Chains A and B, each alone.
Chain A
Amino acid sequence: MPRRPALITVVLLTALTLVSAALIGGSEGQALQGEYKIGVLEPLTGALAFEGKRHLEGYEIMRDLINERGGVMGKKLTFVVGDAVDPTAAASEANRLITREGVKIITGTYSSTLCGAASEAASRQNVIYWESSCVDPRFSRRGLKNVFRTEIDGTGFGWYNIEFIAKHLAPRFNMKPNQLKIAFLSEDSSYGQGVTEAARERAKKEFGMQEVAMEYYAFATTNDFSPLVAKLKQVNPDIVHHIARGNDAVLFWRQSREQNFQFKALVHAGATGYGSPDFGKALGAEGNGPFVLAEPSTGLRLEAFRPEAQKLERDFTEAVKKRAGTEPYASHRLAGAGLWLLKLVLDKSKSDDLDKFRSAVLSLDLPVGSMLNGWGVKFAENGQNANERVQHYMLQWQNGQMVTVWPEEFSTLRAKWIPLGPWDQRK
C-alpha cells in the first residue's frame, strides 16, 4: 500500500503547532480564573467519523474564540472528549465523562443515531445534555428536563424544504404548488424519516402537492440505485425530495445522469449526502443543481445580521479558514453556534446547577440575525430552540461549490438551472 510518512509527519506537526497555539492563545487572552471542563461526545471512528471530526473541529475553534472573549463564567473553557462510534458507545462514553471526568455538561454528538442514547445516559445522572447538531424530532419529545437542543429539529427541515419548493421553485416553474408532482426518497434512519415525514405532511396538507413516489432505503447496504431511478422515471416527478446520508447522494445522482432521468429540481436537507463537501469533490461541475437546506455558506449577505453577530461570523469564518483551510462547513457551524449559545447561557446562569441553567436557557430571547449563522434564540419548555429562530438557508451546488441562494434577503447569489435542463447543459 502507498505510504505517506511525509504527509503524516506534516499533519502531526501541524496538529502540534495548532494545539500549542491554542494553549498559548488561551493564556494570552483575558485573565481567566481557573478552568471549566465540559464533555464532548463525537463519532471519531467508524462510518460517521468524517463528519464527527469536523464537528469537533468546529467546537474547538469556537472554544478558542470563547476563551479569547472571557471564557465561560469567567473561566477558561476546556474539553474532555469521548468517542461515540455508535449508540452503545455514546451511552457508555457519556457515563465515563460523568463518573470519571466529573463533567456537569455534555455536548455533541453530530448524529441523530447517537444523540438519543447519549442524552438518556446524561439524563439518568441528572447532567445537562446540550445537543448542537442532531435533528431527530423525537429527541425533544421525551419530557427530559436536562436536555436541550440548539439546532432545528427534523420537522423544521421538512417545513423549510416545502416552503422553498412552494414559494420559490413553483413560481419559477410557472406552476402552482398543487400542480407539482413530488417524489420522496430517503435513507431510513431516524433523521431521514423525521425530515421526510414532516415534508410529506406539509406538502400534502398545506399545498396539495401530488406525491408520486415514496421510497425508504437502507443507506449502508444500497449499492445500486438503477432500479429506483427506472421506477422514478416512470412516474416523472417535477421535484425529487431526497434525504441522503453519504455515498448514496453521489450514486443516485450519477445513476440518474446515466439513465437520463430528468426532473426539475432535487432538494435535500442537512450536512450529510448532498450537504457534504464530498459531493462536490466527487462530481465537480457534474454535480451542478441540487439544493441543500443547511447553514449558510459562500454568498451569505452578512449585512442582514446584527452588528455583534457580523463580528462573530467574520471571526469564526477566519478561524476556520486558518485552521481547516476551507470555508466553514455545516458541521463547523452547527458546533460553533451551539457552543456559543452555551456560553451565553452559562454567562447568564453563572452556574451549572440544572434549575438555574434551565431558567437561563428559557429566559433567552434573541431575534433572527443575533448570532453565528444568523440564528436567533427562544427555547421552548421541551428544551428545543424554536425552529423559526434557527434560520436556515437553501444552498445550491454550483461548479463544485455550495453557495447560499435563499432566502434572497440573506444571500448575494442566486439559484441557477431552474428548472434543471438536460444533464450536459448545466454548466
Chain B
Amino acid sequence: MGAVPQLVVSTVLLGGIYALISVGLTLIFGIMRVVNFAHGEFLMLGMYLAFWSFTLWHLDPYVVLLVAAPLFFLIGLLTYALVMRGVVKASHNVQIFTTVGLSIVLQNAALVAWTGDFRFVRPWHSAVVLRLGDAAFNLSQVVAFVVAVLFTAALVAFMRWTRAGRIMRATAQDVEAATLMGIDTDRVYRLAWSIGLVCVGIAGVLMSPLYSVYPTAGLQFVLLAYVVVVLGGLGDMVGALLGSLIVAGVEVAGSYYLGSAWKEVIYFLLFIAVLVFRPAGLFGQRGAETLGA
C-alpha cells in the first residue's frame, strides 16, 4: 500500500502529458475527419523550439509558450495551404499517405538540420522535486498537467460557446448542409488544423524539460495519443482528457502490479474492445463521433 500515493500522482501527471498531446489530435479528427499521422512530428518541432530558444537565448520554456502559440498557428496555416488543403476532401487512404509522408519529411528534415543527437532542456524548474506525503513529483510535470486541464477547458468553451466553435461543429456534423448555409468550410478546416497544431506545439514546449529532444521524439508519444483519442471518443475533448487518465492509470498500475511488459497488452486490449463495442468512445454517446465536440 505504501506505493499507492505515488501511483496515483504518477497517473494524474502522466495523464496530463498524454492529454496535452491528444487534445489537438482529437480536435483535428473531430472537425476535419483526418487522422494526422504527422502529429508526433509537430510535437517534436515544439520540443526543438523550446530547446533552441533555451540554448541560444536562455529563454525558459514557459516564456517560449507565448511565441509558440502564434508560431504554430502560422505553421498550421502554412501546412494547411501547402499540404492539407488538397487532401482534406479526398479519401482516407490519400489523407493517411499524405500525413505519413509529411511525418517522414519532418523527421528527416530535423535529422539533417539538427542531427540525431539527444538534446536536453534543463530550466530551473525541471530539477524541482515536490513531495506530498509518500509521493514525489516534478514541478514541470505539475505545470504540464495544469496547462492540459486549462487548455482542454478553454477548447471546450470555445467549441460550445463561441460562434466560430458552433460553425466548426456544424461543419463537422454535416459539411454539405454547412456549405449550403454559406459556411466557408475551407476556412473552418484551416482553423481546426491550425488550432490542433497550436495544441501540440504547446505540448512539445511544455514537455521539453521532461524528455529528451530528438528527431523521432514524437513517435514515443503519438501511438498513445491515438489510443487516448479512441478511448475518449473521436473528436471529444473532455473524453480525450479522461482517456488520457485511463491510459496513464493502466500504464502505471500495469507496470507496478503486473510488470512493465504487460502495460501495452492491457491498454491495447482496451483499445480494441472500445473499437468493437463502443466505437464512439467510452464517454461519447453513440453517434457522437460525428458531432465534433
Which A residues are within 8 Å of any B CB, using their own CB?
1-2, 4, 8, 45-50, 52-53, 188, 215-218, 220-224, 226-228, 230-231, 233-234, 246-247, 250-251, 254, 257-260, 276, 278, 281-282, 286
Contact = CB atoms under 8 A, between A and B. Distances in A.
Contacts of A247: 118, 211-212, 214, 220
Contacts of A226: 6-7, 10, 14, 137, 252
Contacts of B17: 223
Contacts of A218: 260-261, 264
Contacts of A231: 3, 255-256
A7 B151 CA distance: 36
Given A49-B111, A246-B118, A258-B137, A224 B251 contact: yes
Contacts, number: 129
Given A47-B216, A188-B261, A258-B138, A223 B211 contact: yes
Contact of A228 (B117, B118, B219, B260): B260
B108 interface: yes
Contacts of A246: 118, 212
Tell me whether chain A's interface is mostly helix, strand or loop, or mixed. Answer: helix
B13 to A, nearest CB: 8
B117 A8 contact: no
A215 B221 CA distance: 21
A223 B221 CA distance: 8
Nearest to A233: B3
Nearest to A281: B120
A220 B259 contact: no
A357 to B, nearest CB: 33
A422 to B, nearest CB: 14
Contact of A224 (B49, B116, B252, B261): B252
B266 interface: no
Interface string B242-254: 0000001001110
Contacts of B261: 188, 215-218
Interface in B73-119: 108, 111, 113, 115-118
Contacts of B223: 221
A2 B205 CA distance: 14
A276 B127 CA distance: 21
Contacts of B127: 286
B12 to A, nearest CB: 11
A46 B48 contact: no
Contacts of B211: 223, 247, 251
Nearest to B9: A226
Contacts of B49: 1-2
A233 B3 CA distance: 9
Contacts of B215: 49
Given A224-B252, A247-B212, A259 B136 contact: yes
The 4 closest A-B pairs by CB, nearest first: A49-B116, A50-B116, A217-B260, A2-B52
